[in-house]
Amino acid sequence: MSQEYRYPLTRVCLRGGTMTLPRAMLGLFPEAGEVVVVDTATDVEHVVEMSHPRVVAGLGPLYREHDLDVNDELVVAPLDDGRFALTPVRRPRPAPGPVEGAVVSAPVGASGGDAHAAVPADGSSEAPGAPEAGAPADHLDRSDATYAADVAGATAPEPTEASAPPRAAQDAPDASVAPERPAGGGELPAASAAPAAQRFLIDPRAAAAASALAELDGEQGAGAAPVGGPPPAAAGAATPAAPKVRQGTLWDGTGPAPQARRGAAFEEEQDNAAALAAVALTSRLRRVFAPLGFRIEPLTAGVVYLHAEMGRRGYKVLVQLLRGAERLDWAGLLARRRASPANYLAVVGDRLDLLRLKGPADLARATLWSWEALERLVVLHESVPVSPIELESHFGRDGLLDQGLKRFEQGVAARVAERGAASELLTRLAVLRAPCVFLLEDLAQDAGMSRDAVLKILERLAEAPFHLVLKVAQGEFLLRRPVADALADLATYAESLRQRLPSVRREVLTGLEEPDAAG
In this predicted structure, the answer to whether residue 442 has a pLDDT above a threshold of 70 is yes
Q: Give percent of the chain above pLDDT 70.
A: 64
131 in any annotated domain: no
Give 194-218 pLDDT, tens digit per residue.
Answer: 444 444 344 455 455 555 545 544 4
> For residue 278, what pLDDT is reported?
85
460 in any annotated domain: yes
φ/ψ of residue 6, rounded to 5: -105, 120
In this predicted structure, the answer to whether residue 246 has a pLDDT above a threshold of 60 is no
3-state secondary structure of 501: coil
Residue of 495 and 180 predicted with greater confidence: 495
Distance between CA atoms of residues 470 and 445, nearest Å: 20
CB-CB neighbours of 196 under 10 Å: 26
Average pLDDT over the chain reads: 75
> For residue 510, what pLDDT is reported?
62
Q: What is the mean pLDDT of residues 214-226?
A: 46
255 in any annotated domain: no
> For residue 52, what pLDDT is reported?
86
Give 328-355 pLDDT, tens digit per residue.
Answer: 889 999 999 999 999 999 999 999 999 9
Q: How confident is the model at residue 135 (pLDDT cuts 50, 70, 90)?
A: very low
290 in any annotated domain: yes
Domain tally, the chain: 4
**Amino acid identity at 438:** F
Whether 277 and 377 map to the same domain: the answer is: yes
Whether 329 and 397 map to the same domain: the answer is: yes
Owning domain of residue 207: 105-126+142-158+192-229
* pTM (2 d.p.): 0.47
Residue of 122 and 389 predicted with greater confidence: 389
Whether 423 and 394 map to the same domain: the answer is: no
Distance between CA atoms of residues 83 and 46, nearest Å: 10
77 in any annotated domain: yes
Whether 271 and 397 map to the same domain: the answer is: yes
Q: 15-19, 119-123, 354-358: lowest mean pLDDT where?
A: 119-123
φ/ψ of residue 310, rounded to 5: -125, 50
> For residue 116, what pLDDT is reported?
41
Distances (CA, A) of 351 to 318, 357, 367, 415: 19, 10, 13, 27
Distance between CA atoms of residues 70 and 509, nearest Å: 42
The domain that contains 35 carries what CATH number? 2.40.330.10
492 in any annotated domain: yes
25 in any annotated domain: yes
Question: Given 169, 202, 229, which residue is the final one in a domain?
Answer: 229
Whether 423 and 388 map to the same domain: the answer is: no
> For residue 109, what pLDDT is reported?
42
Whether 22 and 66 map to the same domain: the answer is: yes
Nearest partner of 75 among 54, 94, 90, judged by Cα: 90
In this predicted structure, the answer to whether residue 96 has a pLDDT above a threshold of 90 is no
Whether 395 and 322 map to the same domain: the answer is: yes
450 in any annotated domain: yes
Spell out the residues 6+ positions from residue 502 whose beta carbon is closer than 8 angstroms to its own.
none
In this predicted structure, the answer to whether residue 126 has a pLDDT above a threshold of 90 is no
Whether 38 and 78 map to the same domain: the answer is: yes
Whether 378 and 318 map to the same domain: the answer is: yes
> For residue 110, what pLDDT is reported?
42
Distance between CA atoms of residues 172 and 445, nearest Å: 108
Give 295-306 pLDDT, tens digit per residue.
Answer: 999 998 889 999
Whether 59 and 147 map to the same domain: the answer is: no
Whether 20 and 58 map to the same domain: the answer is: yes
Q: What is the mean pLDDT of residues 28-39?
A: 90
3-state secondary structure of 107: coil
> For residue 260, what pLDDT is reported?
53
Whether 388 and 428 map to the same domain: the answer is: no
